[in-house]
Structures are given as structure tokens and as C-alpha cells.
Structure 1
Amino acid sequence: MATMQLLKRLATLLTLTALLGLIGCSSLTLAYGQLPLLAGLWADNYLDLDSRQRAQLKTQLQAWQAWHRREELPQWIALLRQANAALDDGVTHDELLALERGARASVERCLQHAAPLAAPVLAGLRPEQWQHLQKKMDEKTEEWRDKIGGPRGADERAKRYTTNLERWLGDLDRPLRRQAAADAKSWHFDLALMSQGRTQRQTRLVQALRAWSHQDFATGTAMLMQDSQTLPAEMPYREEIITSLLKLLNGMDTAQREALRKHWADWSNELRSLQAAH
């Protein structure tokens, strides 16, 4: 699974969902400043928090954001520098996997720091709130299955793939969007297999959050990281994504490559400004 797919999958975690979603915002600086609010709204939607729990979560998210600004923004800037360097002579499979490992390491550090902050909120959840979480995830899965497996499933998969590409690579011109969409439509997609994997990950997510609620931080974090791993049966699909991404990156003309470099440079500048803000 390519780097953007990995991070999209990890967006199920409440402390990271809003943060990762910021990358697609028109103003990263504005959205990053609203992270506690955005993450709190997301968590409330899934957990149906009461006013006391919302206030508690907001305090914990602010603490997590302060840590992230200080410790992880420099790591994100370094990853962008690494990605930019890989463009010089053509991105290789190994370079792409190295970027993925760097992103996974960042996510793991974020989870490790989030665990003790999330624990008091999770420990205070009532049984009906855990049930609400399961209900919301089941609804999202059913919605996903209807869109991905419906009559226009191939179009939906193509749309999601190009949207994720643009989240990380910036606006793609028409030829690149057409190429990406054609690739996604051509991939073999086993709905039953993918649904099974999604169900397994949701089950593990709840188990991980329950482990955090009991202050078993190592187990919970390990389970969440396991959720990001590609299942053996999903490997062919992962390889199709990687092949498509490498073809797209290495097939860019000069203008397309410069547009990508500018996008990453602008993003890096915003991250540096955020880092220096506090």
C-alpha cells in the first residue's frame, strides 16, 4: 500500500483522523489551529460524548497538539525533503517503501503519545457509548460497501484514488487524473475480501481503544499499528497501487514535476510556520 493509502487507513483513530484530514484543506495553517475542535467533533460523532467528556477530550487534544507541533512537524518536513529528493532521478520502489516506513514511524510515535492522553476519556465511556461507536462504524462500512460495490463501484474507486493522490501531490492536470482513474478502474477488486479485511480492522480498533482505556498502552498501540498492515490476501491490490503511483510519478513531464515540487515546497513552508508559531 502506498504511503497515502496507509495514512488514509490509519485515519480511523480519533486523535489522528482530523489531523490527517487537514492535508486536504485549502489552508493547512488555519485547519491545524482548529485541530482540537475538528478532532473533538469527529470523536463526538462516533462516541456520542457528554459535555464533561467533550471538555476533557478538548484538553487532551490540546496537549497532544502541542506535542505534535514541537516533535512531529519537523519529522513531516524531513519526509517531504526525502520525497522531493527521490524525484531527482526517478522514484524507485525502495524509495517509496522508505517513505512509507517514515510515515509509519511518525504515526506510531503519534499513537504512543496519544495513548495516555486518550485513556481517561476512553475509561469514562459508558456501555452505550461503546455501542454507539460500533453502530457508527457499521453504518460507515455499509455506506462504503454500497458505494464501492455498487453499479458505479469502479468510478467510485477511481474517484477516491485520484482524491487521495491530490491530497498529497497537489492538483493533478487532466492527463494525470485520467491516467490515475484508468489505473484504478482496471485493478482487480474483491469486494468480499476487502469487506472482510475492513471488518477485522474495525474489531481490532475497538479492542485497541479498550486496551488504552485500561492503560494497556503498548497492546493498544501495537493493535492499531497492526491495523495498518496489508493482509496477505490484499497484497496483489497493494502492488497495483504501488505500480500505478510509481508510473505516475516517473512519467511526469517537466511542468508536472515542477508543480509537484512547488506544492511540497508550499506545504513545507506552512509546516515551518506552524512549528515556529508556538
Structure 2
Amino acid sequence: MHLLKRLSTLLALGLMLALIGCSSLTLAYNQMPLLGGLWMDSYLDLDSAQRGRLKDGLRAWQAWHRRDELPQWQALLRQAGAALDDGIVTADELLALERAARASLERCLQQAAPLAAPLLAELRPEQWRHLQRKMDEKTTEWHEQLSGRGGAAERAKRYTTSLERWLGDLDRSTRRQARDDAERWPFDLAAMAQGRATRQARTLEGLHAWARHDLAGGTAAFMHNLQTQPAEQPYRDQVTASLLQLLNGMDARQHQQVRRHWADLSAELHRLQTR
């Protein structure tokens, strides 16, 4: 389970954003059981038999997702398009997109829970320790990247990359505006680190709950990770305000480019669904 990024949640992207970030959405989606298995194995250090069961579970999950959830992703794109077509994108419309994305994520987790539980239940203590070490290493890496003199530039880079995954290529002035905004945001590293630590603990709590076959409890723990903690609210507010200013400052040509990007994505999702 990823420690979900605030911007990804705000923009209602989740797994969709991660896949769109690849050079080919179709290739990434079709290779999901392989790529997802490799990523999970790096955290869990599975043996060969466990890898086989994980691959089978991922294939079953992908079959469900292709049939039932890809249409929801297309609906999400239409919802985003309608917000853009209104002329002025509002905070309420962004929140509606966020709610739709959370609903999608919750359905994905509910479908994954019974597939993941048997594998998690058989993990050995050393595999759980490996998972803890891996998560701690990622936290250390995160802290090093976002602290110090280069922290603001790294946050700005991540923000603009996420924007372009969702909106398509931005022109130079819009990209500069997004980067400059992100570099100016107040960022309380200690508060954000505490939030990350809390989410990491909840992620482990959720996995252990699934291992006990407490599927609802585990899913609830993961969904709880999406809630903004009080210390994080100022940063989230800055992201929302900047995003609204950027979207509502686009001219007709830029809006048309975003619409073409979303139309291309929707067509690719439709091809994946009917494959």
C-alpha cells in the first residue's frame, strides 16, 4: 500500500496517476500483475511459492478492475471535464473529484482484501521485519529529499510532474507558475514527517488486520490514511488555492489542450476495458 501523496488525493488520481505517469498507459496497465508483483516483493521478500500466489491474486484483481472499475475512471475524466467546461473550477468541484477518487480506491481495497489476506496470513516474522525496514528506508529517503536547501525545489518538481500527468504537457509559463508557487508554500517538515509516520503505522495496522482476515478493519485503516491531519491542513490549503488559480488562469487554448489530453486518456481506457 502506498503512503498516499496529498496532491494525488486532491487531484483524484490514485492508481490512475501512477499509470498515466508511464510512457504507455496500455503497456503499464497490461503489465500490472508483473510490475505490481515486483514492487510488492521488494517490500515483503517473498519466496517463490508466495510470488506465484501473489501473481495469481493480482491477475484476479486486474480482471475485476478491467471489467468494473475502468468505467469509473472514464466517468471521473468526464466529471473533471464538466468542471473545466463550467468556466470557473471551484473548490467544491475539486472536493467532488476527491470523493469520487476515494470511492474508487475503497472499492479497489475491498476487492483486494480477500485476495491479499491468505498471503499476508502466511508471512513469516522475518518478512514482516523486512517490510518494516523497507518502509523505514523509504521514510529516510523522503526526509533527505525534502529537507535542506534542495527541499523546496524537490517539492516543486513533484508538484509540476503530478500536474502534467493529469493535465498533459504545460506550457513554459504555466509550468513556471506552478513551480514558483510550490517553492513558496510553507512546509513544516516535522509536521509532515509525523503525518507520514502515522500513515506508515496505519498501513502496517491495515496489513496485519487483513492477515487476521479482518478485511473491513484493514480497509478502514487504509482509508483513514487519506484524512488530512490538522498540522497538514495549511499545506493542503495552499495546494488547493494554487491549483484553482492555475486552472482558472488558463486561456482557451490551454483548456483545449487539457481536453484533448483527457480525451486521449478516455479513449485508451475504453480500449483497455474492451480488450
TM-score relative to the length of structure 1: 0.94
> What is the Cα deviation at residue 4 of structure 1?
4.3
**Does the CA contact (< 8 Å) of 2:145 and 2:151 recur in 1?**
yes
The answer to whether structure 1 residue 43 and structure 2 residue 40 are counterparts is: yes
SS at match of 1:180: helix
2:119 is aligned with 1:121: yes
Following superposition of structure 1 onto structure 2, how do residues 116-155 of structure 1 map, counting pairs within 5 Å?
116-155=114-153
Amino acid aligned to 1:132: H
Q: Paired residue for 2:72?
A: 75
- Matching residue of 1:207: 205
Offset, 1:124: 1.3
Q: Which of the numbers 28, 51, 58 marks the counterpart of 1:61?
A: 58
Match of 1:87, SS state, is helix
Q: Unaligned regions of 5+ residues in structure 1, if any?
A: none
Instruction: Give the alignment's TM-score, normalised by structure 2.
Output: 0.95
Residue in 2 that maps onto 1:197: 195
Residue-by-residue CA offset, 1:23-51 (whole Å, 9 max, x unaligned): 11121111110000010010011111111
Shift of residue 7 of structure 1?
A: 7.3
What amino acid is the match of 2:9?
Answer: L
User: 1:143-192: CA deviations, max 9, x gaps?
Assistant: 11011012211100100111111111111111111011111111110001
CA distance in 2, matches of 1:121, 1:201: 22
Cα distance, 1:7–1:207 mapped onto 2, change above 3 Å: farther
**Residues 196-231 of structure 1 deviation map (CA, whole Å, 9 limit, x = unaligned):** 010010011001001001110111000000011110
2:246 to 248, 252, 268: 248
Identical aligned pairs, as a percentage? 66
- Rounded to whole Å, the distance in 1 between the matches of 2:38 and 2:170 is 31
Structure 1 stretches of 4+ with a deviation exceeding 2 A read 1-5, 7-11
Are the counterparts in 1 of residues 12 and 100 from structure 2 also a CA contact under 8 Å? no
Amino acid at match of 1:239: D
Change (3 A) 1:169 1:181: same
Q: CA deviation at 1:5?
A: 2.4
Q: Which residue identity does 1:203 align to in structure 2?
A: A
CA gap of 1:7–1:208, structure 2 versus 1, over 3 A, is farther
Superposition RMSD on alpha carbons, in Å?
A: 1.8
Does the 8 Å contact 2:11/2:98 carry over to 1? Answer: no
How many residues of Structure 1 are paired with residues of Structure 2 in the alignment?
271
1:76-102 residue CA offsets vs partner (Å, 9 max, x unmatched): 000100100111122111111000000
